[in-house]
Amino acid sequence: MKPSERLVELEITLPVPTAPIGSYVPALRSGRHVLTSGQLPMKDGKLAYAGKVPDDVSVEQAAEGARLAVIAGLAAAAAQQTGGVDAIRRVLRVCVFVNSSPGFTAQPKVANGASDLLTDIFGDAGRHVRSAVGVAELPLNAAVEVELVVEVD
């Protein structure tokens, strides 16, 4: 099944890539790889989850935020080549930054929101290497930020 068909089945519509809030581009293609800038958990053009995990945002909410951020990352990556999301052959790397309260160490549970969705969309080609990193702050006080590296046609 093509990734675009799987997105329809999952009732996911890729958004228009979010405009950068700084001096960078949302995604960049180099050869057969597309790298995305950090993507925030946006819904209907607004930040969906803000604050520290787990003090302000639950682990479950942050995992949903990681899911939203990876959808934004897929949109940014898909916009870099003809064929859109169906041109993505493999997800190579995912890096999930979690705006963590002091002492919080369950960043991998948050990152699973992104990882599980990529596997749901791409099957085995969605399995990837990953980092889940706790940070003191994120842009706009976002609860989570996600970067992707994908291989394309």
70: how many CB neighbours lie within 10 A of its CB?
Answer: 28
pLDDT at 99: 98
Structure tokens belonging to residue 92 = 């190579």
Q: Which domains does the chain have, with CATH numbers?
A: 3-18+30-152 (3.30.1330.40)
Prediction pTM value: 0.96
Q: Are 39 and 72 in contact (CB under 8 A)?
A: yes
CA distances to 38, 55, 60 from 100, in Å: 17, 8, 14
Q: Are 38 and 135 in contact (CB under 8 A)?
A: no
What is the residue-level pLDDT of the chain in tens, covering all 153 positions?
999 999 999 999 999 988 888 899 999 999 999 999 999 999 998 999 999 999 999 999 999 999 999 999 999 999 998 899 999 999 999 999 999 999 999 999 999 999 999 999 999 999 999 999 999 999 999 999 999 999 999
Distance in angstroms (rounded) separating the CA atoms of residues 61 and 113: 9
